[in-house]
Chains A and B, each alone.
Chain A
Amino acid sequence: SQQGEEDPQALSIQEGENATMNCSYKTSINNLQWYRQNSGRGLVHLILIRSNEREKHSGRLRVTLDTSKKSSSLLITASRAADTASYFCATDPRGSGTYKYIFGTGTRLKVLA
Chain B
Amino acid sequence: ETGVTQTPRHLVMGMTNKKSLKCEQHLGHNAMYWYKQSAKKPLELMFVYNFKEQTENNSVPSRFSPECPNSSHLFLHLHTLQPEDSALYLCASSLAAGPVYFGPGTRLTVL
Which A residues have a C-beta under 8 Å from some C-beta of B? 2, 4, 30-31, 33, 35, 40-45, 48, 88, 90, 92, 97-106
Given the complex, which residues of A lie within 8 Å of B55, measured CB to CB?
Answer: 97-99
Closest to A46 in B: B99
Q: What are 5 inter-chain pairs, A to B, with CB distance below 8 A?
A: A45-B100, A90-B43, A98-B48, A98-B50, A98-B56
Pairwise interchain contact A100-B42, C-beta atoms closer than 8 A: no
Pairwise interchain contact A100-B48, C-beta atoms closer than 8 A: yes
Shortest CB-to-CB span from A45 to chain B, Å, is 4
Pairwise interchain contact B98-A48, C-beta atoms closer than 8 A: yes
Pairwise interchain contact A42-B2, C-beta atoms closer than 8 A: yes
Closest to A98 in B: B55
Give the contacts of B1-21 with A (CB-CB under 8 A).
2, 4
Q: Which secondary structure characterizes the binding site on chain B?
A: strand
Specify which of B50, B90, B94 is in contact with A42 (CB 8 Å cutoff). B90
- In the assembled complex, the Cα of A42 lies from the Cα of B40 at a distance in Å of 16
Given the complex, which residues of A lie within 8 Å of B102, measured CB to CB?
Answer: 35, 42-45
Pairwise interchain contact B90-A102, C-beta atoms closer than 8 A: no
- In the assembled complex, the Cα of A31 lies from the Cα of B99 at a distance in Å of 10
Closest to B35 in A: A103
Pairwise interchain contact B41-A105, C-beta atoms closer than 8 A: yes
Give the contacts of B47-80 with A (CB-CB under 8 A).
48, 50, 55-56
Pairwise interchain contact A99-B42, C-beta atoms closer than 8 A: no
Task: Give B70-111 as 1s and 0s: 1 = Cβ < 8 Å from A's Cβ atoms.
Answer: 000000000000000000101010100111111111010000
Shortest CB-to-CB span from B21 to chain A, Å, is 13
Pairwise interchain contact A40-B99, C-beta atoms closer than 8 A: no
Given the complex, which residues of A lie within 8 Å of B40, measured CB to CB?
Answer: 105
Pairwise interchain contact A43-B56, C-beta atoms closer than 8 A: no
Pairwise interchain contact B42-A92, C-beta atoms closer than 8 A: no
- In the assembled complex, the Cα of A48 lies from the Cα of B58 at a distance in Å of 24
Specify which of B2, B56, B99 is in contact with A33 (CB 8 Å cutoff). B99
Pairwise interchain contact B101-A45, C-beta atoms closer than 8 A: yes
Given the complex, which residues of A lie within 8 Å of B35, measured CB to CB?
Answer: 103
Pairwise interchain contact B107-A43, C-beta atoms closer than 8 A: no
